[in-house]
Amino acid sequence: MNEFDLINKIKPKYYKQPTLIKGIGDDGAVFNSQCKQTVIAVDTFVENIHFTEETMSMFHVGYRSLAAAVSDLAAMGAMPAFYLASVILPTRDRSVVYESIFRGMDTFAAKYKMDLIGGDTVSGSVLALSITVIGYVEKNKIHYRHHAKNHDIVFVTGTLGDSQAGLYLLQNKKTVSNGHYFIKRHQQPEPRVNFAQQLTDLKRVSLNDISDGIVNELYEIAEASKVNLLIDESLIPKHKDLMEFPKNLVNEWIYYGGEDFELVGTVPAKDWKQVKLIASQTNTPVTKIGSVNNTLHKSIGKVFLKKDDSINLLNRSGYIHFE
């Protein structure tokens, strides 16, 4: 089966986005952004680095790759519209692998009526996906990292550490209560698109998605906004069954684990009530975990943790792809 046959297998039969002018079938895809701003992000996912055959089926590889890329759009407040998928495919079981990956992407894409509008498929010795996602946002409604200001509330969605707990179960063949929940959080993360969308009604929100661990994401906000952040260990939201895992691992997962694709951000204290309302309307758990506090330290761009009665600087040693 050659590239053309593969593409015909996954080419959409119809498109859903009203701004699309030309999808798959020419040298490029064409769309019309009208009065909105276009947000674009790319995410790459490589076998034996980001996943293995034992931790993900090919369906999950597709689903999770697109979900991770869309999480970046969510963190900007953009509504997902299109994606392009570049696939490096080893020769083994090529057609089956390809179809499963695209079925996974398609299943995720359907949630937001996203259209597959292009891509590239080449052979190679390692399975890898590079997903480009495109979304729209109204002018001046973007959740930039540099939007945090002193006295803002720091909040996070969902619970942290679940994805790494799921990976641990898959890699160590362990069982815990609700093991299926943790595994699903690893294989099929759900970016907080609708919640982030609704937040665009607020004037000033800083927002990051948690792909590399909350500490790293908080540092990115602190540095971009030139503020210090203080979070409270006792407020970090955890799933009730996370305590069944080894305690030292749990702490590592919560602060540095990443891949939960939850959102962390800041809003002015006066808007906190509105955030909670939006969270309730979009069925999104949201927790206040701290505040912006520039009086904590002379230098700025730092993240501190309050634990019991002491406050300590958090090490920025989140997951880094090369380590």
Question: Which of these, 213, 204, 205, lies nearest to 231 by C-alpha position?
Answer: 213
Token output for 111: 């949630």
Question: Which of these, 294, 268, 303, lies nearest to 147 by C-alpha position?
Answer: 268
Interface segment toward a second copy; rule CB under 8 A; list 2-10, 155-163, 225-233, 287-295: 2-10
Q: How far is CA 127 from the centre of its chain?
A: 21
The reply to whether 132 sits near a second copy by the rule CB under 8 A is: yes
Question: 159 Cβ partners below 8 Å, 6+ apart?
Answer: 237, 238, 239, 242, 260, 262, 285
Shortest Å distance, C-beta 145 to a second copy: 5
The reply to whether 49 sits near a second copy by the rule CB under 8 A is: yes
Interface segment toward a second copy; rule CB under 8 A; list 116-124, 234-242, 290-298, 303-311: 116-124
- Report the site for a second copy in 199-218 (rule: CB under 8 A): 207-209
Question: Which of these, 193, 192, 72, lies nearest to 133 by C-alpha position?
Answer: 72
The reply to whether 261 sits near a second copy by the rule CB under 8 A is: no
Q: Which is nearer to a second copy, 183 or 199 (CB)?
A: 199
Interface segment toward a second copy; rule CB under 8 A; list 57-65, 68-76, 156-164, 245-253: 68-76
The reply to whether 96 sits near a second copy by the rule CB under 8 A is: no
Among positions 42, 96, 243, 300, the unique one binding a second copy when judged by CB under 8 A: 42
The reply to whether 123 sits near a second copy by the rule CB under 8 A is: yes
From edge to edge, which strands make up the β-sheet containing 263-267?
206-209, 263-267, 153-157, 286-292, 229-232, 303-307, 310-313
**CA–CA separation, 256 vs 193, rounded Å?**
23
The reply to whether 297 sits near a second copy by the rule CB under 8 A is: no
Task: Report how many residues bind a second copy under the rule CB under 8 A.
Answer: 69
- Report the site for a second copy in 137-196 (rule: CB under 8 A): 137, 139, 142, 144-145
- DSSP code of residue 225: H
Question: 275 Cβ partners below 8 Å, 6+ apart?
Answer: 153, 155, 199, 202, 267, 286
The reply to whether 79 sits near a second copy by the rule CB under 8 A is: no
Q: Is the dihedral of CA 250, 253, 259, 263 positive or negative?
A: positive
Among positions 60, 61, 64, 119, the unique one binding a second copy when judged by CB under 8 A: 119
Q: Which is nearer to a second copy, 54 or 323 (CB)?
A: 323
Do residues 11 and 25 touch, judged by C-beta distance below 8 A? yes
Among positions 10, 29, 67, 114, the unique one binding a second copy when judged by CB under 8 A: 29
* Identity of the residue numbered 283: N
Phi, psi for 136 (deg, rounded to 5): -120, 150
Interface segment toward a second copy; rule CB under 8 A; list 80-88, 100-108, 237-245, 277-285: 80-88
Shortest Å distance, C-beta 37 to a second copy: 5
Question: Which of these, 119, 32, 25, 144, lies nearest to 81 by C-alpha position?
Answer: 32
Most distant CA pair in the chain, distance: 64
The reply to whether 278 sits near a second copy by the rule CB under 8 A is: no
The reply to whether 126 sits near a second copy by the rule CB under 8 A is: yes
Q: Map tokens 């509105």 to a residue.
A: 274
Q: Which is nearer to a second copy, 144 or 272 (CB)?
A: 144
Shortest Å distance, C-beta 304 to a second copy: 21
- Which residues of this protein are in contact with a second copy, per CB under 8 A? 1-4, 21-22, 25-33, 37-46, 48-50, 71-73, 75-76, 78, 82, 84, 86-88, 94, 117-126, 128, 130, 132-135, 137, 139, 142, 144-145, 207-209, 224, 320-323
